[in-house]
Amino acid sequence: MNRTQADALIERIREHVLAALPPTTTVNDAPELVQEFWELQRAYPERPGKGLRGLFTVLSCVAHGGREEDAIVPAAALELFQNWVLVHDDVEDDSDTRRGLPALHKLVGVPVAINVGDAMHVAMWRLLMTDPTPQRDALVREFLDMIERTAEGQHMDLQWIAHGTVDVSADSYLSMVERKTGHYTVSAPLRLGAIAAGQTPDDAIIRPALRLGAAFQIRDDVLSLTPDTDGSFGKAYLGDLIEGKRTLVLALAMERLGADERGRLTDFYQLSPDAKTDAAVEDAFGLLEASGAIAEAQRVAERMADEAIAQLRDLLPASDAGQVLLEEFNSLAHRTR
Amino acid sequence: MNRTQADALIERIREHVLAALPPTTTVNDAPELVQEFWELQRAYPERPGKGLRGLFTVLSCVAHGGREEDAIVPAAALELFQNWVLVHDDVEDDSDTRRGLPALHKLVGVPVAINVGDAMHVAMWRLLMTDPTPQRDALVREFLDMIERTAEGQHMDLQWIAHGTVDVSADSYLSMVERKTGHYTVSAPLRLGAIAAGQTPDDAIIRPALRLGAAFQIRDDVLSLTPDTDGSFGKAYLGDLIEGKRTLVLALAMERLGADERGRLTDFYQLSPDAKTDAAVEDAFGLLEASGAIAEAQRVAERMADEAIAQLRDLLPASDAGQVLLEEFNSLAHRTR
């Protein structure tokens, strides 16, 4: 599979997501506001995203001996999962933008955005329920587990911010991020693909898959602290720092800095985003950089990714699709923007 | 079935809800914050509610020839549905209290509360998936439809407030409230009970069921405008007025008042809750009362309820359980606190 074929597959999955969110309800005479409600559910899916998780799901299915079409439903449901979670995450983080446009709650307010996300969540289950294969129940169980773990990770992340917990250890950070992004970015796509191919997923893939997912996130966090990114990951330069996200960079910096500097960084992270002046952001960034934590996090992420990909290479069935999947993982782990 | 037996059944359903929300995750070595996350999901279900929708579901099942135990899973899932929706609704309405205690987001903040509600939503589907009967897929479809309609109604309600739309017609109000509360309060319990009993639900019950659900809500709205309630419906006296909820009372008052008074009422409803002084609330309440809309809404609700119950009496299978169900409906429609 070349890039053009992968892009075509991503587009096919995206069309499947949009088809699960019809522009009008089944009630033909629905009030205008109800029609608007369904349009709003399409807002994020209509903004082109990378679609990587859906792609990973289909590639895993083919690597496990299935056909592409066997995995279109779980792949689309996984993309729809990400879309509704992003609607809620953007409220929870009070993010300004998403995929280059205003976050949904900035357009329609927090109450409406929460409710739209809930309806998209329901649409995800409806889509998954349309899977006509005998694997449907196993796919559903995988989604149940995945969403639980993701929400657990999100809870840890949110509470660290709410409680002003700044001295998060590297281990705690990894425990959070494996839950929050590792499951739905790598582990679940690999497992869903195997299930869609009629196989029982090998539990041994879970550990390296979660490490790889964490490595992707660390790479993302490092890029958010690297000048010259152009916002193409939906995050402005230093955006995470202003939002106060706990990262491996922060954990490593707290280990490395002296007491005074650690205090300054702690004070900064306990400020609300609005209270962070440009000078304060510059100072905090300077502390992270001077500690060497940014470069170290980058090295950790690369090592974790390389080890995980090597393990997955041994665990996944050898196949062309498996090779494409591993290459996708590799380029994501080493991307520079 | 007498009151004691009904209460025992409600308690049994509630235990089933709590069993679906284990206090710790399946991961034994889960971080403390993850354990806290699961505890928070139990917050609302542990606060005793009326449990009527679960009761209606089981009674409908028995009325349709099934056994109580056939409907425990959908009954518990319906109660769990209400609990997660309330967590999100309380954020959306910025409610202060729920069942006599602070609303969840007042305890843990909006971001955490949204995420807890999402996890409870997932737990609801997991619970429903445990239904071992051949009816499971039909129950799932009923839940999908029910949640969609409920969210549509909530969207209408939220947008009227967000847009400052005050001149909502009685028809529009009924269209909203049938969606927002009619489906999950009456129509879905009756249908779920029939399905759990192995029957195909009679579509003719939908219309009167939705009317009855709307009548319950109108009664609730009127009670919120009636002195001497003691907050036992979870709503302080005049709470809806301060929140700015659109009600049939408001729709009827807008029809009846002269232009000047209509303008005063419109101005009041367009204020944010915080901006509503005691004097302004008193003035608005005076306008609603003087218009005769409160008494008229009460008459409309009673007529709608009586007609709907009479129709349901003809449509439901004649049985002891059906008789108990109709009596429950009747006492709810005519409750005075």
Residues A158, B111: C-beta atoms closer than 8 Å: yes
- Looking at residue A159, its pLDDT comes to 96
Residues B121, A126: C-beta atoms closer than 8 Å: no
Collect all residues of chain B within an 8 Å Cβ-Cβ radius of residue A88. Answer: 114-115, 118
Distance, CA of A16 to CA of B286 (rounded, Å) = 54
Distance, CA of B233 to CA of B240 (rounded, Å) = 12
Domain of A194, CATH number, reads 1.10.600.10
* Among candidates A25, A118, A122 on the partner chain, residue whose Cβ is nearest the Cβ of B88: A118
The residue written with tokens 């995450």 in the block is A89
The model's pLDDT over A295-328, given as tens digits with 9 standing for 90+, comes to 999 999 999 999 999 999 999 999 999 999 999 9
* Confidence band of B163 (pLDDT split at 50, 70, 90): very high
- Looking at residue A239, its pLDDT comes to 82
The residue written with tokens 């950790």 in the block is A300
CB B37 within 8 A of CB B173: no
CB atoms within 10 A of CB A163: 10
What's the mean pLDDT in B131-148?
A: 94
Distance, CA of A271 to CA of A279 (rounded, Å) = 13
Residue in B21, B94, B105, B115 to test binding to A, most A beta-carbons within 10 Å: B115
* Among candidates B93, B144, B155 on the partner chain, residue whose Cβ is nearest the Cβ of A34: B155
Residues A151, B122: C-beta atoms closer than 8 Å: yes
* Confidence band of B145 (pLDDT split at 50, 70, 90): very high
The model's pLDDT over A12-55, given as tens digits with 9 standing for 90+, comes to 999 999 999 986 555 557 889 999 999 999 999 999 889 999 99
Range with the poorest average pLDDT among A62-76, A179-193, A286-300, B232-246: B232-246
The model's pTM is 0.95
With a cut of 50, say whether residue A57 has pLDDT above it. Answer: yes
Amino acid at A23: P
Alpha helices in chain B (DSSP H): 3-19, 32-41, 43-46, 52-63, 72-93, 104-108, 110-129, 136-163, 170-177, 188-196, 206-224, 239-243, 248-256, 259-269, 278-290, 293-315, 320-333
Residues A144, B122: C-beta atoms closer than 8 Å: yes
- A318 phi and psi angles, rounded to 5 deg: -65, 130
Count up the domains in chain B and report the number. Answer: 1
Residues A92, B108: C-beta atoms closer than 8 Å: no
Collect all residues of chain B within an 8 Å Cβ-Cβ radius of residue A25. Answer: 148, 152
With a cut of 50, say whether residue B233 has pLDDT above it. Answer: no
The model's pLDDT over A81-107, given as tens digits with 9 standing for 90+, comes to 999 999 999 999 999 999 999 999 999
- Looking at residue A230, its pLDDT comes to 52
Q: Provide the Cα torsion A261, A267, A270, A274; round to 10°.
A: -110
CB atoms within 10 A of CB A285: 17
- Looking at residue A24, its pLDDT comes to 59
With a cut of 50, say whether residue A293 has pLDDT above it. Answer: yes
Residues A25, B126: C-beta atoms closer than 8 Å: no
With a cut of 90, say whether residue A237 has pLDDT above it. Answer: no
- Looking at residue B26, its pLDDT comes to 56
> Which B-chain residues 113-142 have CB contacts (< 8 A) with chain A?
114-116, 118-119, 121-122, 125-126, 129, 137, 140-141
Collect all residues of chain A within an 8 Å Cβ-Cβ radius of residue B176. Answer: 31
* Confidence band of B231 (pLDDT split at 50, 70, 90): very low
- Looking at residue A243, its pLDDT comes to 86
Residues B151, A33: C-beta atoms closer than 8 Å: no
* B34, closest residue in chain A (CA to CA): A152
The model's pLDDT over A244-284, given as tens digits with 9 standing for 90+, comes to 889 999 999 999 999 999 999 999 999 998 999 999 999 99
Range with the poorest average pLDDT among A128-132, B27-31, B36-40: B27-31
- Looking at residue A229, its pLDDT comes to 46
- Looking at residue A28, its pLDDT comes to 57
Residues B158, A115: C-beta atoms closer than 8 Å: yes
- Looking at residue A151, its pLDDT comes to 97
User: The domain containing residue A225 runs over which residues?
Assistant: 3-333
> Which A-chain residues 219-278 have CB contacts (< 8 A) with chain B?
none
Residue in B21, B93, B158, B203 to test binding to A, most A beta-carbons within 10 Å: B158
What is the interface size between A and B, counted as CB pairs within 8 Å?
Answer: 136
With a cut of 80, say whether residue B337 has pLDDT above it. Answer: no
What is the ipTM metric for this complex? Answer: 0.95
Residues A118, B121: C-beta atoms closer than 8 Å: yes
Distance, CA of B40 to CA of B119 (rounded, Å) = 10
What's the mean pLDDT in A129-156?
A: 94
Residues B88, A151: C-beta atoms closer than 8 Å: no
With a cut of 80, say whether residue A78 has pLDDT above it. Answer: yes
CB of B154 within 8 Å of any CB in chain A?
A: yes
